[in-house]
Every structure is written in C-alpha cells, then in structure tokens.
Structure 1
Amino acid sequence: MQRKLTRRTFLRNAAWAGSGLVILSNSRLVRGTLANSKLNIAGIGIGGRGAANIQGVASENIVALCDVDEKHAAATFEQHPDAKRFKDFRRMLDAVHNQIDAVVIGTPDHTHAPAGVMAMKLGKHCYCEKPLTHSVYEARLMANIAREKGLVTQMGTQIHAENNYRRAVELVQSNAIGPVREVHVWLGANFDGPPKPTDMSQPNAPTDHVPVPAGLDWDLWLGPAPYRFYSPAYAPFHWRYWWNFANGQLGDFFCHYCDLAFWALKLRHPTTVEAEGPVHPESTAKWTIAKQQYPARGDLPPVHLTWYNGGGYPALVKERNVPQWSSGVLFVGSKGMLLADYGRHQLLPETEFAGFQPPDPFIANSIGHHREWIEACKTGGPTTCNFDYSGALTEAALLCNVALRTGEKLTWDAANLKAVGCPQADAYIQRPYRRGWTL
C-alpha cells in the first residue's frame, strides 16, 4: 500500500534534501508495521560502545542480542532478559531474521562488515559504529548493498547530531569565510612544535601466552581477522591499536572530526593521499600526518585537507594566531577562518568578525542520532550518516593508513578502488579473510 505524501512530509523532506542529505525513496516497513509501531532489533556486539548503542535504541523491541564475551556484555544481557542470547551473529541472524527489522552493530572494527553485509543481504536496516569498516573495500561494499536493498542505515558518528556541527556547516555553506581551499584537522595536540614525538615507540605483538578468560569465545572474537593468540593487549579494550583489528587513533577519530569537513564542503573521494608516521607490521601508528587533495565540486574549489594526530599543532596555528585547542577543525577561507571542535566554533580573526550575524539556521536540528535512524526505519525518511555518505568518509580515513603503510603518495581511482601504479596497496585496500569467513 502506498502512503499518502502529506504537505508536512514533503516540506520536511525538502528541508533535509536542501542540507545535502539523502532521502530514501521507499519505506521498508518490515512485516507491514505502521510508523508508530516499535521496531524489532537485534544487537551484535553489546559491550562497551555497543552497550551505549543498545541503550540508544532501547525504546524499541530488543529481540535478540549477540556477543562473544559473556562478561563484557553481561550488563546489557541483564537489562534485556527477554532477548534471545547468542555468541555467533551468523547463527543469530539465521535463527531470528524473520523476527527482526533491523540490527545494531557495536563490535570491534574488523567484524563490522561481515555482520553488516549478512544482515543487509537479509533485508535488515543497519546501524553500525564508526569507522564503518576495517578496509576500504568493505566500506564500498556496505554502501553498495545498502543502496541496492533500499535500506535505512546510519553510522555511529553521534556528534554529527549535535547542533554545534550544524551551525558550523551553515557558516561555511553560507560563504561566511569565503571559498575554502584548505582544511586542517588535528587531534590531541599537546605541545608546540612539529607533530613528530620521539618518545612513542611502537609496541610489538604480545609474546606471552595467556589463558583465554572464561566466557570469551576467542575464535569468534577474531572472526575474519588473521589468527593471533589471545592477549589482554587485544581484548576487550585495546584492539583499536593493532592493524589486525582496527586502524588506530586515525581510524578512531577521523570519522568524527573530518565528518565536519566532509559535510560542510561536500567532499567525497580524494584524488591523492600521502601520509607519514611510524610504520610497524603489527601496531598502529602513534602519530600521523596525512594529506589529501579533493577535486572541485560544482562551484566549490578544490580542497587540500591535512590530518594530524598524536602530536602538535599545524604550523598555521602559530602563524595565524589561531587558538590552541587540543583538537580542532580549521577551515581556511578567502575571507577568514572557522575553527570548530565537538562543542564550539569560532570565526577568525575575531576582530574582523566583530558584530557578525550568523545566517538563520537552515539545517534542521536533529531529533537524536539513534532516534533519527529509528524514525527513518519506520517512515522511509532520511538519516544524516547513511552508508553512502559515511562509507565515503570511512574510505577517506582508511586511505590515509594505506598511504602510510605503503610509503607512497597514492593517486586514487575511486571508481575502481585502485591506487594507480601502486599494486602493493591492494593488500591494504582489501585483505583476505580467515578461513570460514566470507562477505
């Protein structure tokens, strides 16, 4: 049955479309549910960040929960005693796919794509933590499947829903600082000088064999990743700093901070990527400087984006008297600059913007990052970090590490997922899965 498009719905969708968001043309109301019904949701990876995500959708029916670590997930299991419990998400989806509408994925990065692809192939809407995937290839695949299936998706860049980002985007898009050709994004700067600390040696892989804790299925935790014996240096908390499972500090935060640049400047795929930092076969880089070039987009000029983590401030901070915030996104326009972080933004130089009146808000405030996804699953409305948008953002993040690990400046062929003339990049763009795991 087709739903009548009311004037209110049309105006709401038009407002979202005007802010550069994707409007889904069809509503996948699984089992014919109505917009005011509750979704039936399954959770995959429900400890730590995953627990917060389940809390974010707890207004709905939590039908099934899956985690490989009983202790780490215990609190979430206890909060939802009626939910069916599983350790292997593949068995869970086989068992309950006819009973659920959507999945929420909060596993370590290396399992995002196997879980998300399986769920979406079964026609389930998907919410997944950031970065969307562990590899560039996986990010493209997730976006393609979501598009082909017409599913409602959202990546967990929760700060995207806060009003501060929206007001900063409006300033850039209303030309308050003029055309922007340069963006600097830094994370955790804590001293003056070049962002190349000398006291950050890269750890080697653990060598001590430690018993696997009771309640943890280590083989399932490894999932598609190449085998490593259990170590508390990996799980449950420190997996993010090993290439086998994640992409380090850059993979953790690029999708949060560079989200603002992607949104405001309508970025998508870089044409070149280069990076420097310590390279180790097992542990991720403790500091990175990555440079990306983006092409012109319609009337918008080309953009050079530089990322810094684990060190100091960009030279421009001192040169232009920019406030030394520990983390920041600095847009450099022809008429001025805009500095922003999660909770604040500032036009610079302050004297030149004294008395400046910001534009009337034209990007609607969010109803909440999780709520936005829930409502879109029910109505076919938009989400602001759908996999088409967040997949490209994730690709850009992960390409920095591809450039770092190859030691090459990459010329990126986005259409074919190829680093032109750099075949050694292929192993980092798409890695083989451990036996028994497929997409």
Structure 2
Amino acid sequence: MLPSKDQNLSRRRFLQASSATSAAVLSAGVWSSRGHAESNSANEQLNIACIGTANRALNDINGVTSESIVALCDVDSRFLDVQAKRFPDAKTYADYREMLDESEGKVDAVVIGITDHHHAPATIRAIEKKMHVYCEKPLTHTVEEARIVTEAARQAGVATQMGTQIHATDNYRRVVEIVRSGAIGDVNEVHVWVGKGWGAKDAPSGNDPAPAYLDWDLWLGPAAERPYIDGQYHPAQWRRWWDFGQGTLGDMACHYMDLPFWALGLTSPTRVAAAGPPVHAEACPQGLKVNYEFPAIENRGPVRLTWYDGNLTPRTVSGIDVPGSGVMFVGSEGKMFANYGSYKLYPEQKYASFTPPPKTIADSIGHHAEWIRACKTGEPTTCNFDYAGPLTESVLLGNVAFRAGKPIEWDAAKLQVIGNEQANGLVGKEYRPGWEVRALETVS
C-alpha cells in the first residue's frame, strides 16, 4: 500500500517537530501525576493501570504487584473477571481509551501487554496524559510508530520500559561485558536465529459469531474490519497476520537482537535485505532470513547482522553446530555463542582457561523493578524507549524489506526508504477512525 499525501505530510511535520524539540527535552524531569518532576518517593506506591490481563500481560501484572493496581482493561471478559476478583478495588474497562481518559490525573503509570497492533495506540494515549509506560515487545507494530512513541516519551519526560525481560538477566550482562572487552577481537559479523515459526501459508476463512465474552470490534481496534473466525486470531494466533502482528521476527527479535544491539552499540541499519517464501498480503512468512548492515561508529567497524527464523533456522552457524535459538558473535580473534542462559567461546581449546573480565554492568534489581524505580526516581531503565525504539525500528525494517520484495536503503534521519515508495508505504499504516497514532504537537 502506498502512503497517502496526508501520511507523507504527517511524517514530514513529525520529523520537523522532533528535530526542533529533541535537544530541549533531553533533560526533562520525570513527570508524576502527584504534581511535579521526581515527586514519587521510593516508598510511595504508584497507581498503575493494566491493559491486558492474561498470558504475557498476566506476567507483567505479577511484576508490578508491589504497587497499587487501580484499573484493569481487557476486551475478553473471561480474563478480565479473573483479575477483577484478584484486585477488587480496581476499576474495570473493555476500552483502554475510555480507561485512560477517566484515569487522567489519577493514574501514574500504565502496563501494556496486548496485541502488537494496539501497542502504539495505547502507548501514545498514555504518554499524552503524562503517564509512565511499560509496553511489551515489539514496542510498536510499525517503524513509524516506534519513532513517534520514542519522541513522545522523551518530550513528555515519562519513565519507559519495553518488555525485553531477558535484558535484566545476569547472563546477558556478562556476554555484553565479554564482547566489549575485546576477548574475541573486533566483531563485524553476528548471526541471530530462532527456531520458531509464527507464519501461515494462506489467510484464514470463515465468518463466525463472536463469543459473548469478547468485544471483537475493540479487539480489532485500529485494524480494518473483518469477521471473527473461531480458532483464529484471538487469543493465540494473531502473530501470524500482518494486520495484528509481525510474525516470528516481531515476536522474538527484540529479545535476541537485543544482545548484539547492546554489546555493539547498534542503532539504525543503512541497508536491509530479506528472503523467504512468496510474500502474502495477509500472512506472515513461515521462515525468514534478513541481512542487516549497520554502519561503523567511532569505536568499531561496520557490522553485518543476519537473522533466521522458522523453517530457515540454521543447524550450523559459522562452522559450529548450534541449538535451535541463539546468537553467534564472529570476532577477529574468536567466536562467541550465547542464548538466554549461557555462553561459550570458540575455539574451545583457545578459551579453555578463559577468565571473564571484571563486571562493568551492575546486576539488575529486576526488569519490572527497574521501571518502577524509574517512575519514582527518574533513573532511566536499561530498555527505555530511547534504546527500545531504535531496536524495534531495526527489527521491523526486516519485514519492510521482505514485504517490499527487494533490498532497501534506509535513511533513519528522514524515516524513509530511499527511492522506494512501495517500501515507504510499509513504514507506517492507516488506522480506523478513533485509533490514530499521532506525534505530540507540543512539549507540555
């Protein structure tokens, strides 16, 4: 789909506004609903609203129960009712727009754990009301949305965190320290793979009555109207379809690509090429391979990162037999494999007596706990939107390149693909009226 004139105009205005305001807001204090920057003491409970109450969202609720849960929202009353009994003093909603409107001035922070296509609409509305935001990964459903919410959070001065829980683990921190120490030399090549497949060969068909417990229109939200199909979409299959998710890349890359992003200081790629099955208008691929090219920076050369998933997941990477998911750093002096819980250096004989460098990254107090502390003190989280926004942009550019059917050259400053209007049409998207995602107009 090509971008409309209104979309292009909106994007230009957004970029002009963000360029003019970014420098002014970098030092903005953290806003609190209790009246001024950094006013929440470490011992004072936050008033938190939770959007989504089951599955991943339930884990997020459990992560913030040290605070006061004052509002709950879910389009599925089965899930909502369970948590309403658990938090009897919390007000319940089906529509988060209504919840956020009624909660303005009463709620300090919002936890968002719903489908990808709702991430940005919920996040931007919370930021507009100067609520702190914790949002699941990927941060947004489109590249443009990632830029919008990142800039908006910076302007509003709110505390933010993306739900990349593995970022808080001891193993990830030690891997980052080892790579940065130069133990495997200069790293200019990285492979990232996940043996999981959120894709489909074709679009589902059918037209069933939506169950009484589900508000189907609210579930669709910003997406185009379509019939409910029993056993599809809600609650577990939505990642397979472009209108709601971003396939395996959208599901898992913010976890696994997080490690090289952090260790190597990656930001925005300049070129992205993708390969997989024939592109389907509605269905995500069952397997995908993406090559990202990141430019050199002051302390390292250019980096080529390759992503694999689904039925294109390799069994051997850089000459080494590997398990179903992981990251391989290829350095000038050696190689390093890592996954969520462990790491290993190669050649094994060379690193048999390897001693890790001293710790330089403090152990985490807990992923959700970092965000709660940030809400109260203004101390940034390690996965705040200034970090998570560029990570999400890069991840989702892989699907832009795949759906465009050819490699893309990316101009991050202009938020556009160079010389490819078809691909530019995939950087953002259209919304049903009432669900739009727009940049903040002014700094409050």
Q: 1:381, 1:315 → 2: CA distance?
A: 42
Question: In the alignment, what sits opposite 2:280?
Answer: 280
Deviation, structure 1 residue 408: 1.2
What does 1:57-206 correspond to in 2, within 5 Å? Answer: 57-188=64-195, 202-206=200-204
CA deviation profile, 1:131-175 (whole Å, cap 9, x unmatched): 000000000001000111111100000011000000000000111
Amino acid at match of 1:221: W
1:40 aligns with 2:43: no
Question: Structure 1 residues 144, 424: closer, same or farther in 2, change over 3 A?
Answer: same
For residue 172 of structure 1, give the secondary structure of its aligned residue in structure 2: helix
For residue 351 of structure 1, give the secondary structure of its aligned residue in structure 2: coil
Question: In the alignment, what sits opposite 1:30?
Answer: 33
Question: Structure 1 residues 201, 375: closer, same or farther in 2, change over 3 A?
Answer: closer
For residue 353 of structure 1, give the secondary structure of its aligned residue in structure 2: coil
Select 1:354's aligned residue among 352, 355, 371: 352
Question: In the alignment, what sits opposite 1:294?
Answer: 294
For residue 429 of structure 1, give the secondary structure of its aligned residue in structure 2: coil
Deviation, structure 1 residue 45: 1.5
Where does the alignment leave 5 or more consecutive residues of structure 2 unmatched? Answer: 1-25, 438-444
Contact 2:290 2:308 in 1 (8 A): yes
Question: In the alignment, what sits opposite 1:262?
Answer: 261
Question: In the alignment, what sits opposite 1:383?
Answer: 381
Question: Structure 1 residues 87, 201: closer, same or farther in 2, change over 3 A?
Answer: closer
For residue 415 of structure 1, give the secondary structure of its aligned residue in structure 2: coil
Q: 1:77, 1:24 → 2: CA distance?
A: 39
Deviation, structure 1 residue 308: 0.3
Question: Structure 1 residues 377, 281: closer, same or farther in 2, change over 3 A?
Answer: same
Where does the alignment leave 5 or more consecutive residues of structure 1 unmatched? Answer: 1-22, 190-196
Amino acid at match of 2:309: N
Deviation, structure 1 residue 314: 4.4
For residue 167 of structure 1, give the secondary structure of its aligned residue in structure 2: helix
Question: In the alignment, what sits opposite 2:419?
Answer: 421
Q: Choose 122-131 or 347-356, whichever is displaced more.
A: 347-356
CA deviation profile, 1:86-112 (whole Å, cap 9, x unmatched): 111111111111111000001100000
Amino acid at match of 2:128: K
Deviation, structure 1 residue 312: 5.0
Question: In the alignment, what sits opposite 1:364?
Answer: 362
Deviation, structure 1 residue 33: 3.2
Question: Structure 1 residues 97, 201: closer, same or farther in 2, change over 3 A?
Answer: closer
Question: In the alignment, what sits opposite 1:10?
Answer: none
For residue 45 of structure 2, give the secondary structure of its aligned residue in structure 1: coil
Contact 1:72 1:236 in 2 (8 A): no
CA RMSD, Structure 1 to Structure 2 (Å): 1.7
Deviation, structure 1 residue 356: 1.1
Q: 1:181, 1:363 → 2: CA distance?
A: 23
Amino acid at match of 1:293: E
Question: In the alignment, what sits opposite 1:192?
Answer: none
Deviation, structure 1 residue 426: 2.0
CA deviation profile, 1:29-69 (whole Å, cap 9, x unmatched): 43143221000000112221111111110110001111111
Q: Choose 235-244 or 28-37, whichever is displaced more.
A: 28-37
Q: 1:237, 1:314 → 2: CA distance?
A: 26
What does 1:308-319 correspond to in 2, within 5 Å? Answer: 308-314=308-314, 317=317
Deviation, structure 1 residue 316: 5.9
Q: 1:285, 1:63 → 2: CA distance?
A: 40
Contact 1:270 1:412 in 2 (8 A): yes
Amino acid at match of 2:289: I
Q: 2:241, 2:357 → 1: CA distance?
A: 44
Amino acid at match of 1:89: Y
How many pairs are equivalent? 406
Q: TM-score, normalised by structure 2?
A: 0.89
Deviation, structure 1 residue 25: 5.9
Contact 2:206 2:227 in 1 (8 A): no
Q: 1:101, 1:24 → 2: CA distance?
A: 20
Contact 2:253 2:395 in 1 (8 A): yes
Question: Structure 1 residues 331, 436: closer, same or farther in 2, change over 3 A?
Answer: same
Amino acid at match of 1:301: G
Q: Choose 134-143 or 228-237, whichever is displaced more.
A: 228-237
Question: In the alignment, what sits opposite 1:303?
Answer: 303
Question: In the alignment, what sits opposite 2:9?
Answer: none
Contact 1:48 1:72 in 2 (8 A): no
- Stretches of 4+ aligned residues off by more than 3 angstroms: 200-203, 312-316
Deviation, structure 1 residue 72: 3.0
Deviation, structure 1 residue 74: 3.0
CA deviation profile, 1:206-257 (whole Å, cap 9, x unmatched): 2221110112111110010111211231111110110010101111000000
Amino acid at match of 2:357: P
What does 1:194-273 correspond to in 2, within 5 Å? Answer: 202-231=200-229, 232-273=231-272
Amino acid at match of 1:302: P
